[in-house]
Amino acid sequence: MRSEALVIDADGHILEPPDLWLKYSEAKYRDRAIQIKVGGDGYEYLEVAGNRAKQTRQGQLGTLGGMGKQVAEARRRREEFVNAGRAAELRYEKPRPEDTYLKGAAFGTMDMKERLQLLDKEEMAKSILYPTIGLLWECETMDAELSAAYARAYNRWIADFCRDSGGRLVPIAHLSLGDPDEAARELERAVKDGCKGAFFAPFTISRRPHADPAHDRIFAIAQDHGVPIAIHPTLEPPTFGVHHRFDNFGWAAWYYDLFAAQGVQHAFATFFQYGVFDRFPKLKVVVLESGAGWIGYFLDRADAIFTGTTIAQNVRLKEKPSYYFKERCFISADPDERTIAAMMQHVGENKFFWASDYPHPDHPGNYLEELAGMVKPMTESGRRGILGENVARAYNLL
């Protein structure tokens, strides 16, 4: 990206090596390591806790590095069906068995040096890195001990992946909240190993809200080390999700992706309900891959209920919600959003990041072009903030 400003991707992704959990898990858990296998139908599938994953679609593993691929062909096919009066026949077109996870891996997703070359090409200073398989497996097992072991294995690997990047690739730890004490221990260890923050899924296998006091030790450690806690979308167990009110609608991939942010919003709101920001006055919370334009309505509504109704009598906060957001929270915008320049004037120029989501196929591949359009109407300070200075301050990267 042609810019004199510091440019940092706040949410890039890697594709984990298929043998990561075999190599990095403690010996006790290797017989149940996450693996990619091939089924009798010829398609790869994800195996978690010794069982075939249920929430990953047939052929999906081969698409995970497919940002921007075959978009023109999909658009042509859609137009052809609509023009022929056959729109009702349109369905998700699953990949072929030969479209494998490794074949679909985009440049820079499995090799540290390649990722640095990509940053150089796109004129970025750094990328904050999150997983890919790590967004798929947690919904597949309710075993808290095993989930914690899977997270530890990934965290050791991502720290190693980033270690020799000169600080340009920034590792973020994955925490599973099934066992809060173990998650706290792992956060302490992972930060010492080089991780600059941690993230949770939008659900918890214990069904405790994210901000429940059971997780206070995690927040205390994050506060003490000055590292942010992020909420990132993942696949969710069907019984936990918010998208299951209709029958015979599983084919509507666009519809489900459109509302993928809702689980993150639910998790984020618990931090206000439980008064986490008063208990931990230096804790930083980040909202990722959920868009950012909604935050204006969210805060307006949250403040209105808090200050003007009796509904908020059990909200455990001293100040109204927007106060804490402006003091302690950050949100990542998609490059194709066009309301953020105006939203900055309402919420604050120092509250927004941008993120590519590279290489995932649920976001467009022309993110640098879209990013240039997003920042064009912003003030100079707002532009510099969202391009990189805000995330650098939040993660102590300056």
One-letter amino acid at 45 equals Y
User: What pLDDT score does 82 carry?
Assistant: 65
Is the CB of residue 211 less than 8 Å from the CB of residue 276? yes
Residue range 219-258, pLDDT digits in tens: 999 999 999 999 999 999 988 876 667 888 877 877 887 8
- The full set of domain ranges for the chain reads 8-33+107-394
**pTM score of the predicted model:** 0.93
**Mean of pLDDT values over 276-284:** 97
Calpha distance 127→359 (Å, rounded): 13
Is the CB of residue 229 less than 8 Å from the CB of residue 198? yes
- Report angle CA 117, 377, 232 to the nearest 5 degrees: 55
Calpha distance 105→231 (Å, rounded): 25
> What is the percent of the chain where pLDDT is above 90?
81
For tokens 């990041």, the residue is 353
Contacts 24+ apart (CB under 8 A), 29-36: 29/146, 29/149, 29/150, 29/153, 32/146, 33/153, 34/133, 34/137, 34/150, 36/61, 36/101
Calpha distance 158→244 (Å, rounded): 34
User: What pLDDT score does 398 carry?
Assistant: 82
**Mean of pLDDT values over 93-112:** 92
Is pLDDT above 80 for 197?
yes
Kindly report the length of the chain.
398
Is pLDDT above 90 for 116?
yes
Helices vs strands, H then E, count in the chain: 15, 12
| DSSP, res 330 | E
Residue 111 burial (CB count, 10 A)? 14
pLDDT band per the 50, 70, 90 thresholds, residue 344: very high
Is pLDDT above 70 for 372?
yes
In CATH terms, 8-33+107-394 corresponds, of 3.20.20.140, 2.40.50.140, 3.30.565.10, 3.40.50.300, to 3.20.20.140
> For the chain, where are the alpha helices, taking DSSP H only?
20-24, 71-83, 112-121, 144-163, 180-192, 216-225, 253-258, 262-273, 276-279, 295-308, 321-328, 340-347, 367-375, 380-384, 390-394
pLDDT band per the 50, 70, 90 thresholds, residue 164: very high
Residue range 60-92, pLDDT digits in tens: 999 999 886 765 666 666 666 567 777 665 566
Is the CB of residue 228 less than 8 Å from the CB of residue 206? no
In 3D, which of 239, 290, 283, 245 has the Cα closest to residue 263?
A: 290
**Mean of pLDDT values over 370-387:** 97
User: What pLDDT score does 71 carry?
Assistant: 52
- The distance from CA 299 to its chain's CA centroid, rounded to whole angstroms, is 21
pLDDT band per the 50, 70, 90 thresholds, residue 271: very high
Task: Verify cis geometry, omega within 30 degrees of 0, for the bond prior to 359.
Answer: yes
